[in-house]
Structures are given as structure tokens and as C-alpha cells.
Copies of this chain bind each other. A is one copy, B any other.
């Protein structure tokens, strides 16, 4: 089944200890789509400026990503320039130019309004709410957010929580939103405000998924070289949603597997700049990585076989 994603389509310039990339495809919508499209058709809603190299999005279109919701507006495209130092855990933003993204008002095309799976990538919570008012009763709504909105749009964000099934944030965001340092308490706080599931991503330390009565933990894949962490979170979300949309079953086991698929896709994303690695990999690659994740956590006899 189809996944609708509303997010940014940007141009990234990134520096890591391993090299530099200039004006490569970036943005939450882009990473999400490249990742989810391995599992299911994707409908992308976003905006680019009239300077965007749209021909480079062809690679996504070829992979079952419907780009008819990507509006082309007059002006500059969203650009992000960042750097990762030695530890690769935190991006240092050198420059953000929002361009046409600052006036982005998502318009969901008629053909997308029945999308059963909706991912609200990190945009203004007011716009996330507006997207939900445009779509028809999706089966599953997952949303992301960031420190900026937690600070500046707190009440809208809390309103949004009552309309989503899953909140997917990183540990710093969970702590900031809930004012709890302990993640178990933070998750409880969020679950009390609407979502049935909370996924807390901890980068190289893996991720946790909480329900009111259970906790699931998935490690990060122990990579020897993290090439460029940009987009790992949105690639995670793409694997998570893509897998669920494909499986079509929304019980706890499938949500747990979705977290592992998310971790797998995140681990691929960081192996190259931009969406390069996500475009290269195949179904067997993903299956092999899932097997690696299984081996990584098992402590049962089956290992011996």
C-alpha cells in the first residue's frame, strides 16, 4: 500500500572526515522516499525552487516515487550546508537557506488524499496538522519533529500528538519535549498525549520503541565507517513506514520489525553521501542486513547451527 510523505526536498553540501559533497540531493522527503521505495510505492509532497536540478529526482521516479506533489516555486531551493567532525554524531550546521521552503504550504494532490500511510516529516506542526486535515482517514500516521518546533510551536505540537499514531524523534528531542531526562519517563509522557507508539532514535546507540506496556530495543548496525550521517533518521522512517505499508499488519511484532527495517535502511544511508547508497542497494542487500541484525542480538542456541 502507498505511503504519503510530506517533507523537504533540498540541496545539501556536506563535509565529513571522509570527503566533501556539494549540492547533492537532500531533505527529509528525499531520504524518506529513497528508503521507503524499496518496500512500497511512495507519494512525495514538497517544494523546490526554480533552480532545482529536478532531472536528478528521476532516479526516485524510476523507483516508484510519485513526484506529482513536488511543487516548483519561484525562487531559491532549500539549501543546507553542514559539517561532521571526527565523532560523526552531531552535525554542525554551517548554513541554512530555506528559500522557497519558508513559504511551503503543502497541497495534497487529489490522487494522494486516500493514502493509507502518512509520514509527516519534520516541518512546522501547523503544517503537519494542515496535511492531516487534507487527507482521508489514513490507517497510520507517523510524525517527526525537531528542537526548533518543540521550542517555538509547543502547543501546536502537543495538539498534533493527539492526531498521530507514532511519534518518531531522537533522544535529545524526546528529552526536550517532555522535560524528562530518563527516556522511559519521556516515552510515558508522550504516550499519555496520544500516540500509541513512540520511537526514540539514539543514533549510533540504536533505537527504542515504547508502547504503554512494552519496550523494544534495536541496536544500530556496528559500521566500521560511517561515511555521512545526513539523512539517517529519515531513511530510518522510510524503512519503518515502507515495511509496515508493505506488510499491512499493524500489530506489535510488525512494528518491531519495522524498527529493524528502519535501522537497516538508516545504516545503508550513512555508507555514502546523499541518497547514493539507498539507490544502489537491492532487496537481497536489505535481507542480508536484516539477518545481520538478527545475529547481532540473538543469544539463543540457534546461533550454534
Q: Are A183 and B300 in contact (CB under 8 A)?
A: no
- The answer to the question of A296 belonging to the interface, with a C-beta cut-off of 8 Å to chain B, is yes
A-B contact pairs, 14 of them (CB 8 A): A86-B181, A87-B181, A182-B226, A184-B222, A184-B223, A206-B206, A215-B222, A217-B296, A251-B304, A253-B300, A253-B304, A256-B299, A257-B299, A297-B297
Contact B206 A205, beta carbon cutoff 8 Å: yes
Q: Do residues B218 and A222 form an inter-chain contact, with CB atoms below 8 A? A: no
Asked if A214 CB lies within 8 Å of chain B CBs, one says: yes
**Chain B residues closer than 8 Å to A299, beta-carbon distance:** 216, 218, 253, 256-257, 259-260
A206's partner among B183, B219, B225, B251 (CB-CB below 8 A) is B219
Given A253-B300, A298-B256, A299-B260, A217:B222 Cβ within 8 A: yes
Interface residue A303 (Cβ < 8 Å from any Cβ of B): yes
Q: With A219-B219, A304-B251 given, is the CB distance from A185 to B256 under 8 Å?
A: no
Cα A185 to Cα B17 with chains together (Å): 16
Kindly list chain B residues whose C-beta atoms are within 8 Å of the C-beta of A252.
Answer: 303-304
Interface positions of A from 187 to 226, Cβ below 8 Å from B = 202, 205-206, 208, 214-219, 222-226
The answer on a CB contact under 8 Å between B183 and A214 is no
**Which size bracket describes the interface of A in this complex?**
35 or more
- A295 in contact (CB, < 8 A): yes
Within 8 A of B (CB), among A250-298: 251-253, 256-257, 259-260, 295-298
The answer to whether A217 touches B303 (Cβ under 8 A) is no
CA distance A298 to B253 in the complex (A): 9
Q: What's the nearest-Cβ distance from chain B to residue A131, in Å?
A: 30
> A217 → chain B, closest Cβ, in Å?
4
Q: Closest residue of chain B to A17, judged by CB?
A: B181
* Residues in chain B near residue A298, CB distance under 8 A: 256
Q: Closest Cβ of chain B: how far from A139's Cβ, in Å?
A: 20
A142 to chain B, nearest CB (A): 18
Q: Are A253 and B86 in contact (CB under 8 A)?
A: no
A-B complex: 6 closest residue pairs judged by Cβ atoms:
A256-B299, A205-B205, A217-B219, A184-B224, A297-B297, A257-B299
A262→B281 CA distance, assembly (Å): 37
